[in-house]
Amino acid sequence: MSKDKTFETQFRRRQQGKTDYTKRLALVRSKKVRIVVRKTNSQIIAQAVKYDPVGDQTLATATSKELTKYNFYGTNNTPSAYLTGYLLGKKLNGKVKEAMSDIGRRSPSHGSVVFACLKGIVDAGINLPLSKEAIPSQDRLSGKALDNYAKENTEKFSQYTKAGITPGEIEKAFEKAKAEIEKVKA
């Protein structure tokens, strides 16, 4: 009879594919605030989380669904990711100066909405290490590329037309929303 283990059961969140404990341990040991960015099928969620031995503390949260307060109606595209990050950065202004990004188990893909969100946080004044190659182009961040696509495919942009934003005006709506978010105080 063998005395060695042949199989070791993993933690539940690792089994579900939700947590990479090796990466999490490295982030926790840095003792910096983690900027957690998650993309779901319907929205983008950004949180500032501080480690505490009792349990992580969420300092601030911003979701792309909150952007409707600022008259921007995209919830899952590059401009909405940028604005979500910008909103979180404004909510953290004065509370956090330096942070680390935590994109979870998602593979980092340059130009993705996750990096657009992180760019918004950096632009709001939070010091966050971020490679320039990873950030989407300015045309994608501001919605100009989305405008060009919307002009050709108007039927796919019904949520914007219901909100009174015609294809071709997404960049203007982005600029107005960014100006409104600029006024947010921590």
The pTM (predicted TM-score) of the whole model is: 0.86
User: Cα–Cα distance between 18 and 101 in angstroms, integer?
Assistant: 16
pLDDT value at residue 2: 58
- Asked, for residue 2, whether it belongs to a domain, the answer is no
Number of domains in the chain: 1
Per-residue pLDDT of the chain (186 residues; tens, 9 = 90+): 556 777 777 878 777 777 777 777 777 778 889 999 999 999 999 999 998 888 889 999 999 999 999 988 888 899 999 999 999 999 998 889 899 988 877 778 888 999 999 999 999 999 999 999 999 999 999 988 888 888 887 777 777 777 777 778 888 989 999 999 998 876
The residue behind tokens 């409104």 is 180
Backbone angles phi, psi at 123, to 5 degrees: -65, -20
- Asked, for residue 81, whether it belongs to a domain, the answer is yes
Asked if residues 111 and 140 have their Cβ atoms less than 8 Å apart, the reply is yes
- Asked, for residue 1, whether it belongs to a domain, the answer is no
- Asked, for residue 4, whether it belongs to a domain, the answer is no
User: Cα–Cα distance between 106 and 102 in angstroms, integer?
Assistant: 10
Residue 76's CATH number: 3.30.420.100
pLDDT value at residue 107: 78
